[in-house]
Amino acid sequence: MKIKDILRDKEVTLSFEVFPPKTDAGYEAVEKAAAEIAALKPDFMSVTYGAGGGTSKNTVNIAADLQNKYNTPVLAHLTCVSSTKDYVKEMIKAYKDNGIENIMALRGDIPKEGRVCYDYDHATELIYDIKSLDPSICIGGACYPEGHVECARQSEDIEHLKGKVNAGCDFLTTQMFFDNSTLYQFLYRIREKGIEVPVLPGIMPITNAKQVARSVALSGSTIPQKMKVMVDRFADDPEKMKEAGIIYASDQIIDLISNGVNHIHVYSMNKPDIAAGIMRNLATIIR
């Protein structure tokens, strides 16, 4: 099923993300976690793509299992900055051959050691390629409520985002953020610039103290005082920290839905208990 149709037909949706294992040894554990999250019956699940594409086989296999064995609509990610056009074509074919109808088209982070391939500069080019290979594929793109780290001015980042949407993005998913006012301001600015596609806020439950530093390093997201205080209070008690993080994320989601932002994507980080906690808190609201 195409995600754009799910977003059109359901008033409120909740989706979860998993990431593939870095090594084949970790495959079974991720497969099990993905199956447990699928059993919660989210509206769809996304499967990320390892930076550089080294774990692309695992992305295809996990995504195919979710789609075909567990009957969960899948959004399979694909990055292009480290790939040739031929390799990208092979990946799109592998997704299609496995019945996957939705691709999250990303540039990927530029490798620290430098680029090995210059076929793609930006996600927009990947979106054009997917559209020209199969116009029926539903395409998602990434967006950044606090601005992308490489772009000094948010207005420029939003202009680039508009190009990405014009190339054929059917919806956008945001980078994580922890203060909803950031998202509301971003939505106001992009809508003003004529970006009309659905925007799915990406919610990251912070359930252990180390995650805060890691999340900030990865995303550059601002940590509000409310979250700093929560982590400070519960960091040394893992059970309390986990529950507080689930409740913080649930509270963020309820505020979003209350304000008409109805399609929520949760970075569930291969953790079925965290996905289940969010589902438990929201089941009545989203059904």
Q: Note the residues at the interface with ligand FAD (CB under 6 A).
A: 48-49, 51, 77, 79, 106-109, 122-124, 142, 148, 150-151, 157, 160, 163-164, 173, 175, 202
| Residue pair 190/199 in contact by the 8 Å Cβ criterion | yes
In the complex with ligand FAD, which residue's Cβ is closer, 72 or 244? Answer: 72
- In 110-237, which ranges are continuous DSSP H helix? 123-133, 154-167, 180-192, 209-219, 225-234
Nearer to ligand FAD, 124 or 268 (CB): 124
Query: Across-strand partners of 79?
Result: 106
Q: Which of 11, 17, 156, 159 is catalytic?
A: 17
Residue 253, C-beta contacts closer than 8 angstroms, at least 6 positions apart: 14, 203, 264, 266, 278, 282
**From residue 223, how far is each of 7, 63, 138, 229 by CA, in Å?**
29, 32, 33, 10
Instruction: Return the residue matching tokens 């507080």.
Output: 244
Tokens of 239: 């059970």
Least distance to ligand FAD, CB of residue 84, Å: 17
When the beta carbons of 101 and 146 are compared against ligand FAD, the nearer one is 146
* Smallest gap from residue 186 Cβ to ligand FAD (A): 12
Q: How far is the CB of 119 from ligand FAD (least distance, A)?
A: 13
Least distance in angstroms from the C-beta of 268 to ligand FAD? 13
Helix (H, G, I), strand (E, B) or coil at 139: strand
Q: What is the DSSP letter of 122?
A: S
Residue whose tokens read 């949706």:
13
> In the complex with ligand FAD, which residue's Cβ is closer, 89 or 160?
160
Q: How far is the CB of 53 from ligand FAD (least distance, A)?
A: 9
Nearer to ligand FAD, 36 or 109 (CB): 109
Find residue 227's DSSP bridge partners: none
Query: In the annotation, is 125 catalytic?
Result: no
Q: Which residues are catalytic?
A: 17
